[in-house]
Amino acid sequence: MTFNDIFKSSFLENITSVSILDMVLALILAFGIGLFIFLVYKKTYQGVMYSSSFGVTLVALTMITTVVILAVTSNVVLSLGMVGALSIVRFRTAIKEPLDIAFLFWSIAVGIVLAAGMIPLAVIGSVVIGVILMVFVNRKSHCNPYIVVLRCDTHEAEVQAKTYLDAQTQRCVVKSKSASKGAIELNLEIRLKDDNTDFINTLSDMDGVTSAVLVSYNGDYMG
């Protein structure tokens, strides 16, 4: 093969540059691993609102990447043009969950590895990554964080409520406090000793306490 043969491009010649068997096998494997990525995403999702369309996107992204890399590896001229075409693409969709970035990169990486013919690496690597994500993301914490929104009438009621929370929880930290005439509002981060939340009922019945609200959160939205 000469230097000119490498850069020779013809539409009809490109038809047979990738065999049908290679295309079918690569796309079937891409669909299977993409579906596995989707199932792992569904099992490990911990956001507020689950989006099934993002899961379908992971499957489609794996297959699309495989098709693109198959085309690129079959023709040097096409690969140069593909780089230039993809460089002008801009994505404006905001990624709400940091873990979603890992799933997107995982889908793209699998598509590249499959199209390169490294099938064992794609399969075994995906299984290992999926198991690690399932273990670490779904691991239950023994000290789930909660926020207590407390409204009091007086400073004495505030001190009494704070002392009571210190005794009933493992950890109690004031996150924010707002005060006006005859009203004090506190936001406190707490760690429960167990799953019992009856102390909120007792807290709300204290003299000077207007209301007490217990809210669970994952610790990512408040510093």
79-124 pLDDT, tens digit per residue, is: 655 665 555 556 666 677 778 888 989 998 999 898 888 889 999 9
Q: Which of 128, 105, 126, 115 is nearest to 32 (CA)?
A: 126
Residue 45: which of 113, 96, 108 has the closest Cα? 96
- Residue 208 is predicted with a pLDDT of 86
- DSSP-derived pairing of the beta strands 183-192 and 145-152: antiparallel
What pLDDT is attached to residue 222? 40
Is the model's pLDDT at 165 over the cut of 50? yes
Name the pTM for this structure: 0.62
Q: Which residue has the tokens 């198959």?
A: 70
Q: Average pLDDT, stretch 19-42?
A: 90
- Residue 48 pLDDT level (bands cut at 50, 70, 90): low
Query: Which domains can be identified in the chain, with CATH numbers?
Result: 3-137 (no CATH), 145-216 (3.30.70.260)
Cα–Cα distance list, 101 to 56, 170, 199 (Å): 15, 34, 40
User: Which residue in 212, 206, 207 sits closest to 151, CA to CA?
Assistant: 212
Q: Among the ranges 60-69, 111-120, 123-132, which has the highest mean pLDDT value?
A: 123-132
How many Å apart are CA 118 and CA 126, to the nearest integer? 12
Range with the largest mean pLDDT of 2-11, 33-42, 190-199: 33-42
- The H-or-E segment that residue 178 falls in is strand 169-180
Tokens of 80: 């140069």
CA atoms of 87 and 90, how far apart (whole Å): 8
- pLDDT surpassing 90 at residue 29: yes
The rounded Cα 116 to chain-centroid distance in angstroms is: 27
* DSSP-assigned letter for residue 7: T
Phi-psi region of 219 (alpha: psi -120 to 50; beta: other; left: phi over 0): left
- Among 145, 156, 152, 150, CA closest to 200: 150
